[in-house]
Amino acid sequence: MPSSTDVLLKIDALSAEIGGRGILHDVGVEVAPSDWLAIVGGSGAGKSTLLRLIMGLRRPAHPTAGEIRFDGMRWTSTERVHTRPKGISFVPQSPAHGFDPLRRLRWQLGQLVRRIGGESQEHEALLQTLALPDPQRLYPHEWSRGMQQRLLLAMALMSDPKLLILDEPTSALDPLIAAQVLQQVQHNAAAKGIAVVMVTHDLALAATYATQIAIMDRGRIVEAGPSDVVLNTPRTDYARELVAHQYWHTARVDTFAADQ
């Protein structure tokens, strides 16, 4: 994990519950600028709950212990978070959670561009890189889920965040499209010093793109460290079982095909 002098995000001894039931237990991670952390684990491990708490969201889970530090900000389990920390962009697992279904895509994209400013040519180039046409007067439902997901990723990158949070970012994408999209994310993150935290159940994605991996099981991080160390020399029984039963070492994809 990063040294204390270059940490952008630090989570220390974080625990949380929903309705009195423990969801997270003593979670701790550190992420540096330009780092890519993949949080891997099965359903119900607490991965998405952790992402929500990083963004300052206290429902449905609320923290009961620990603290989170991000880019000089600090909040503990006893403090109420009134606004989402600045400098974080989030791409949800489902495109339906990212767009207003009653607004045209071009309008929603335009609202973001007006808010963040910047060069329109740069924004258009990013859309082209992700093989996205002009949305024209189309509504979200008139695009495929894969195209919507790519537009959400493009809009997140346009904001030049310090931290990009991805919740199962390739769930709506064809594997070849997913490779192209994550390569573009990787390129932008490296060029601009963006840190990435990605939740995934897919060890192949973690092996290909992440510099750090944290494996979660039943609300705890059972193993964490550099990707090659976690994948090749896991220490815990759960991590060994997870690594042994997935073909992460043969799953690199470097080609691109059009979304169907």
Residue range 150-178: average pLDDT? 88
256 pLDDT exceeds 50?
no
Backbone dihedral angles phi then psi of residue 88, each to the nearest 5 degrees:
-115, 130
106 pLDDT exceeds 60?
yes
Which residues touch 113 (CB under 8 Å, ≥6 apart)? Answer: 120, 123, 158
Q: Tell me the per-residue pLDDT of 201-233, one tens digit each, with 9 for 90 and over.
A: 888 888 899 999 999 999 999 999 999 999 999
pLDDT at 214: 96
* Percent of the chain topping pLDDT 70: 89
Question: Is the residue at 177 inside a domain?
Answer: yes
pLDDT at 148: 92
Backbone dihedral angles phi then psi of residue 251, each to the nearest 5 degrees:
-110, 20
Question: Is the residue at 86 inside a domain?
Answer: yes
Name all contacts of 204-207 with Cβ < 8 Å and 24+ positions apart.
Answer: 204/246, 204/247, 204/248, 204/251, 204/252, 205/38, 205/170, 205/178, 206/38, 206/40, 206/231, 206/248, 207/231, 207/248, 207/249, 207/251, 207/252
> Which structure tokens are listed for 56?
């300052």
Whole-number average pLDDT of the chain: 86
At 150, which amino acid appears? R
Q: What is the CATH number of the domain that holds 226?
A: 3.40.50.300
Check residue 218 and give left, alpha or beta (phi > 0: left; psi -120 to 50: alpha): left
Question: Is the residue at 20 inside a domain?
Answer: yes
Higher-confidence position of 243 and 64 = 64
Full-model pTM? 0.87
Please state which of the ranges 80-89, 167-176, 229-238 shows the lowest mean pLDDT: 80-89
Alpha carbon distance 55, 36 (integer Å): 17
> Which structure tokens are listed for 87?
């400098």
Cβ-based neighbour number of residue 74 at 10 Å: 11
257 pLDDT exceeds 80?
no
249 pLDDT exceeds 70?
no
Alpha carbon distance 242, 220 (integer Å): 15
Domain that holds residue 86: 4-250
Alpha carbon distance 94, 174 (integer Å): 15
pLDDT at 68: 92
253 pLDDT exceeds 50?
no
Question: Is the residue at 257 inside a domain?
Answer: no
Question: Is the residue at 23 inside a domain?
Answer: yes
Question: Is the residue at 260 inside a domain?
Answer: no
- Domain total for the chain? 1
Residue range 102-131: average pLDDT? 86
76 pLDDT exceeds 90?
no
Question: Is the residue at 255 inside a domain?
Answer: no
252 pLDDT exceeds 90?
no
Question: Is the residue at 101 inside a domain?
Answer: yes
* Percent of the chain topping pLDDT 90: 51
